[in-house]
Copies of this chain bind each other. A is one copy, B any other.
Amino acid sequence: MPTFKVTLAYDGTDYVGWQRQANGVSIQGLIEDALRVLDGRDVRVTGAGRTDAGVHALGQVAAFTIARVLSPDAVLRALNAHLPGAIRVLAAEEAAPTFHPRFGARAKTYRYRIWNGDVISPFERRYAWHLPGALDLDAMRAAARLVEGRHDFAAFQASGGSAATSEREVFASRVDFQSLTPHPQSPLLAYDISGAGFLRHMVRIIVGSLVEVGRGRQPAEWVGAVLASRDRTAAGPTAPAVGLFLVGVEYGGALAALS
């Protein structure tokens, strides 16, 4: 009964999210369906991050145990043969039977992409939030740094989260323009955040709050006051799912991601 750790990239546009649900097509559900064909029995897949509907992944990590004895490469090829092109297994390796992608994760990195131009490229419409108008990047940079460290992130948590505590540690929180071929002078802003764990909608509420600062509606320091308030109603709106990517998940060693 070998256990496998797989690294996945997916375009979340057309799915209800990572987690299998009664209605709609989920990433987890499609992988479990493919494994049922491969293994001839029901296989349960666990993921490192339960990405919401419309959220993408460059380096989601998942694990499962199957009855058939197969090489990691055979598992990779069989899954990619069964999965739609919007979901790809980038890497597969054998893992200890005790490996758990979420509980074992030391750090996760998310990226949020904003298209800050009047007209969004058709090639970015599924992968970035279209937000025209002036943004004060220096103020956003300063505000982003204020969430680094260990804090109670209750103000940046959506209702319906299942976490026992809202304390989390953020290792890095940075925003900058990103060069984007074939648009070297692109109006694409990337916000990167890595941390030991994240609350429900935490990245999207932080981004919504940074945008309040970028638009000059709030000073950078306001983000610190929101954090201290522990009050969700004090923070900015939740940024849309379209711009969010799970970049990678870190375990004992190196970052398990294409970054």
Task: Name the distance in Å between A28's Cβ and chain B's nearest Cβ.
Answer: 16
Task: Name the distance in Å between A104's Cβ and chain B's nearest Cβ.
Answer: 24
Extra inter-chain contacts (9) besides given A9-B122, A85-B125, A121-B258, CB under 8 Å: A10-B122, A11-B125, A80-B119, A88-B119, A89-B119, A111-B182, A178-B181, A181-B181, A182-B258
Render A95-126 as a binary contact track against B, CB cut-off 8 A, 1 for contact: 00000000000000001000000011111010
Render A215-254 as a binary contact track against B, CB cut-off 8 A, 1 for contact: 0000000000000000000000000000001010000000
Task: Name the distance in Å between A191's Cβ and chain B's nearest Cβ.
Answer: 13
A-B contact pairs, 18 of them (CB 8 A): A9-B122, A9-B123, A11-B123, A76-B119, A80-B119, A85-B122, A85-B125, A86-B125, A87-B122, A88-B120, A88-B121, A89-B119, A90-B119, A111-B182, A178-B181, A180-B181, A182-B258, A183-B258
Q: How many residues does chain A have at the interface if contact means C-beta atoms less than 8 Å apart?
A: 31
Q: Which residues of B contact A76 (CB under 8 A)?
A: 119
Please give the residue numbers on chain A whose beta carbons come within 8 Å of chain B beta carbons, in ascending order. Answer: 9-11, 56, 58, 76, 80, 85-90, 111, 119-123, 125, 127, 178-183, 245, 247, 258-259
Please judge, given known A-B contacts A179-B181, A181-B180, whether A9 and B121 are in contact too, CB under 8 Å: yes
Q: Which residues of B contact A127 (CB under 8 A)?
A: 123
Q: Which of B182, B245, B247 contacts A247 (CB 8 A)?
A: B182
| Cβ–Cβ contact B88 & A122, under 8 A | yes
